[in-house]
């Protein structure tokens, strides 16, 4: 496994790897890797001949009041996980490498970024789409792998690559969970042991909506109510939003015909937690690219 820090080095190493042909898969990360990231890298490794990961804590997707300064950066541990997952090349750029002093170009997706996370973090998704576009331009993968846990992010990136005719296919991979259902996240490290236990109530709420769905309930209002009331059983969880939305447009549904996505965001102390659940044919929609 090669580790490079500059764009020039990354392109040089990729040229060497590609001299015998093969497809390139890419897993962009902000580091603080866990089993969810490992799953993405292993899926990538199985589906392509050349696997690339990046580790870059992107400052442009953090608001001034957010956790950029304390975001975990265990680089050596992350590199060991990349190596164990069979990654061929890891790109670990500096902020100056990705954003030189005269840079002034951003990539922005409109409507999808104004909803849900975009309402609460208005600068976040422009930072994501800009850095991902830059990384796609540098790595030039045929496939890029993202986790379902960040559902809105993958929907925005799908829209972006389609609108900009970027020659990369987005692969959305199932959320990896702890044994008690908590979605794996780098920010789980912020939780105390008590909060860690309380956080599992989010998945219990989502599971309740799935039970209703499987029993034949197709009312978005009923599913939303079930999630909210279940989460509310743990007063420490402060709900930002619960929404039953269209898998592609992310707009609220009045009725559910074939599929939907249940989105949840909560605050637990100073930590924000997001999760989601695919209902009906939403999985097929996500997997169609």
| Residue range 6-58, pLDDT digits in tens | 999 999 999 999 998 999 999 999 999 999 999 999 999 999 999 999 999 99
136 CA to centre of own chain: 16
At residue 281, the pLDDT reads: 79
Per CATH, 2-173 and 186-280 having the same topology is answered: no
Q: Looking at residue 184, what DSSP letter applies? A: P
To the question of whether residue 61 is assigned a binding role by annotation, the answer is yes
To the question of whether residue 126 is assigned a binding role by annotation, the answer is no
Q: How far is 34 from 81, CA to CA, in rounded Å?
A: 8
To the question of whether residue 184 is assigned a binding role by annotation, the answer is yes
| Residue range 52-84, pLDDT digits in tens | 999 999 999 998 888 999 899 999 999 999 999
Cα separation of the two ends of the chain: 29
CATH class name, domain 186-280: alpha beta
Per annotation, catalytic residue among 37, 77, 124, 225:
37
Structural domain boundaries in the chain: 2-173, 186-280
Q: Is residue 225 among the annotated active site residues?
A: no
To the question of whether residue 226 is assigned a binding role by annotation, the answer is no
Sole residue written with tokens 């292993």: 42
| Residue range 191-221, pLDDT digits in tens | 999 999 999 999 999 999 999 999 999 999 9
Per-residue confidence band for 289, with pLDDT thresholds at 50, 70 and 90: low
- Which two tokens mark 115? 């909803």
- Which two tokens mark 110? 């409109």
At residue 288, the pLDDT reads: 61
To the question of whether residue 174 is assigned a binding role by annotation, the answer is no
At residue 263, the pLDDT reads: 99
- Which two tokens mark 286? 């996500």
226 CA to centre of own chain: 25
Share of the chain above pLDDT 70, in %: 98
Q: How far is 286 from 185, CA to CA, in rounded Å?
A: 21
Query: Topology of 2-173 in CATH?
Result: Rossmann fold (3.40.50)
pTM score, whole prediction: 0.95
């Amino acid at each position: 496994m090669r580790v490079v820090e500059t764009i020039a080095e990354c392109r040089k190493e990729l040229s060497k790897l590609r001299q015998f042909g093969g497809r390139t898969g890419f897993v962009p990360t902000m580091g603080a890797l866990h089993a969810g990231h490992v799953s993405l890298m292993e899926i990538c490794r199985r589906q392509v001949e050349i696997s690339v990961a990046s580790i870059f804590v992107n400052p442009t997707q953090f608001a001034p009041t957010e956790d950029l300064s304390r975001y975990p950066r265990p680089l050596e541990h992350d590199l060991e996980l990349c190596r164990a997952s069979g990654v061929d090349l890891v790109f670990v750029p500096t902020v100056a490498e990705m954003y030189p002093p005269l840079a002034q170009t951003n990539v922005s997706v409109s409507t999808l970024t104004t909803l849900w996370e975009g309402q609460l973090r208005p600068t976040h998704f422009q930072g994501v789409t800009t850095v991902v576009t830059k990384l796609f331009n540098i790595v030039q993968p045929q496939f890029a792998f993202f986790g379902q846990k960040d559902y809105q992010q993958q929907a925005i990136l799908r829209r972006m690559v389609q609108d900009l005719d970027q020659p990369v296919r987005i692969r959305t991979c199932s959320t990896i969970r702890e044994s008690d259902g908590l979605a794996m996240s780098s920010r789980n490290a912020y939780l105390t042991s008590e909060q860690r236990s309380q956080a599992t109530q989010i998945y219990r709420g989502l599971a309740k909506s799935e039970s209703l769905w499987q029993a034949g309930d197709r009312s978005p209002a009923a599913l939303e109510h079930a999630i909210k009331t279940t989460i509310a059983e743990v007063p420490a969880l402060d709900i930002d939003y619960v929404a039953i939305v269209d898998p592609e447009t992310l707009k609220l549904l009045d009725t559910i015909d074939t599929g939907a996505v249940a989105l949840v965001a909560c605050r637990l102390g100073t930590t924000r937690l997001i999760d989601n659940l695919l209902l009906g044919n939403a999985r097929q929609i996500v997997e169609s690219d």
